[in-house]
Amino acid sequence: MCANRSIITPDSMSAVDSLSGYFAAGYRTAMSTFSMSPNRLGDKGIVHHLQLSPLVSFLLIGFITVSIVALSNLAFQMTFMSTFKNWQRPKAQGKWSWIMGNLIQMQKGNPGDIQMEWTEKFGGAVIYRGLAGNERLLLSDPRALMYVLHQRCYAFPKPSGARSALSNLLGEGVLTTEGDVHKRQRKIVNPTFTQSAIRDFLPLFWRHSRALAKHLQTSMEEERNAKMQNKTQERLSMAHELSPAYINDETINQNDVKLLDDKMKMNDQATVPSIVDVLHWTSRTTLDVIGESAFSYKLNSLQRGENGDVIADSFNKMMTHVGQLTLLERAQLHFEQFSIFDGIRPLPTSFNKRARACYDAVESVAQKMLKERREGTAPPETEKDVLERVLRANEDSSVKQSQRLMPHEIMGQLTTLILAGHETTSTALTWVLYELAMHPSIQESVRKEILEAQQINEQEGKEDLSYEELHALPMLNNVTNEVMRLNPPVHSTNREAAEDDIIPLKYPIKGEHGQTIDQIPVRKGQAIIVHIATYNRRKDLWGPDADQFRPDRWENLPSKVLQSGVPGHSLSFLAGPRNCVGQKFALTEFKAILSTLLAAFSFAPPPGTTKIDSKQVIVTRPRIRGMESQGTQMPLCVTPLQ
């Protein structure tokens, strides 16, 4: 089997020894710069011996170490180690490229833009350089993706640094574990998200969808009332300017008032619908849904003023901060992927503090709920929530004791669901409202389909669409599939080769000298980027309009997409044993909220020349071009239909 084929030669083993020497020399040089011996560092750590703040100390040591190693590492890889010596590759640009590789280029434009450009030029497997010249393999070839994600899933785990960073935020759930631990957890968690289970959650989805529509309506009415009060004051002020000073409000000249009324009517006709940040509302709604469905906990994050709960408050503060990370914090996130910097993760940066506060808030509530279940004091409505289902599956007599989840693993499933599950659905809802606002004819078509289905439902004496009825709406299905393809909430995920391997390609690429490359030898430790957004937009697969929002493409998909082997055809929920466990949950929640909003409101683009860009903030959130300092947001013109 190719999976066991070694690609390490005697020459390359010698190169490994030499490279290790380079790293060791660089590390010793960096340490001696501060007159510190490696032995002392082993006792108490770098930060203890530097009279600087922990983060600055770490970054200074990291910069010196990486700087010394970078050039030798780069030259050594290109001469001895690289299995990609004859590959075409994007040229790193800028004076810091010798340290940063292509990373600075990747920060420009919207997330995924540069990766799409590289893929169109070089094909579905691209080698680029990361920090200190290390080579990273960017994949969007369908066969390569299925090999990494499905066929050999556990041979390509998340990098240890990335897992540790995620664990700090999410705990030890299905998103952060690997190998046998992940298999054991999925076996327990999978029954929680069956079609039968999702049917039980659907009434909850409808209830929260209506709550969102009601809160949105109330907010818009309050805004309009405030505007009317301002107009009344403006009218009286203008009347006083036109009338003699001694005339009071009751005796204002009626002709003047008529002139003012005419002017105000003209102004009213020019008044645009309410401008609403739909991201604000969708994020809070999906958080409420997750809180109640996970462990029957009412977060009340839709409430005005304070967010209504410590979990909602801590999460929203964290997400706001993630969108405004400082240069030092961004550097930390890059460095922490390397094992040499394992000790920096507990550093008290603002992001780490907020992330930990968020996790602690969720864990505190979850622990309380878990205690109630074990003591038998939980209320009856908890019988069908995620926590109860996980507990039942975990304690089932058919599950061996060795295969059951530990208490901290149960907590990990809940924190993962709450902190990761709600934001992805919220982001997808935000982008679909934007796309429908930009395509009013499509918006009207899907609204008509929803209203007709609701009318039939009402005639039959039913309040809400059933699971089958909701998922049987063709236009709604097409719109859902298309926005998930075009605007995946997460644009990429990282993997690492656990052993030497050979990754096959469906579409061969050309090497530096024109040679055909139809498979990729990778060594243990090779960094791999599974680029979801790039695969979903490849024009050679999806057609020349792949970067456009066109839901009807799902009625007749291109043959290359149908033959790709990717389940569901787009990669937005990943694939294989590590695909999104809550996919059905998320899609059903998404459709329930979207159909409720479209039945109650119309959506139009933001006013003027407002341009919406995207920013990777754990998920791919929208922001206004030129107003980046205001954080992520999605302002749309919203008009009530009733």
What does DSSP assign to residue 273?
P
Q: How far apart are CA 407 and CA 395, in angstroms?
A: 12
Is the Cα dihedral 163, 168, 169, 172 positive or negative? positive
Residues 6 or more apart in contact with residue 303 via CB below 8 angstroms: none
Q: Which H/E stretch holds residue 23?
A: helix 10-33
Q: How far apart are CA 574 and CA 559, in angstroms?
A: 20
Q: Is 580 annotated as a binding residue?
A: yes
Is the Cα dihedral 335, 336, 342, 345 positive or negative? positive
Written as six digits, the tokens of 96 are: 């810091």
Of the candidates 528, 539, 457, the one whose C-alpha atom is nearest the C-alpha of residue 496 is 528
What per-residue string of b and e applies to 256-287 under the rule 16 or more CB within 10 Å gives b? bbeebeeeeeeeeeeeebbebbbbbbbbbbbb
Of the candidates 572, 579, 545, 567, the one whose C-alpha atom is nearest the C-alpha of residue 491 is 572
The separation between CA 611 and the C-alpha centre of its own chain, rounded to angstroms, equals 21
Written as six digits, the tokens of 153 are: 């899933």
What does DSSP assign to residue 530?
E
Residue 581 near residue 186 (C-beta atoms within 8 A): yes
Give the Cα-Cα-Cα angle 519, 520, 521 (nearest 5 degrees): 120
The separation between CA 636 and the C-alpha centre of its own chain, rounded to angstroms, equals 21
Written as six digits, the tokens of 634 are: 């999605």
What amino acid is encoded at 457 in this protein?
A: N
Written as six digits, the tokens of 441 are: 């004819």
Written as six digits, the tokens of 325 are: 């990370």
Give the count of beta carbons closer than 10 Å to the beta carbon of residue 224: 14
Residues 6 or more apart in contact with residue 436 via CB below 8 angstroms: 442, 443, 446, 479, 598, 603
Residue 594 exposed, middle or buried by CB count within 10 Å (0-12, 13-18, 19+): buried
Q: Which H/E stretch holds residue 619?
A: strand 619-624
Written as six digits, the tokens of 513 are: 């000298």
Three-state secondary structure call for residue 616: strand
Of the candidates 588, 578, 491, 496, the one whose C-alpha atom is nearest the C-alpha of residue 531 is 491
Q: Which H/E stretch holds residue 535?
A: helix 532-536
Three-state secondary structure call for residue 156: coil
Residues composing the chain: 642
Q: How many CA atoms lie within 13 A of 171 on its CB side?
A: 26
Alpha helix (H) ranges present in 153-309?
160-170, 179-189, 195-242, 254-269, 278-295
Q: How far apart are CA 343 and CA 332, in angstroms?
A: 11
Q: How far apart are CA 61 and CA 66, in angstroms?
A: 8
Which residues fall in the annotated binding site?
Answer: 580
- Feature table: binding site for heme: 580
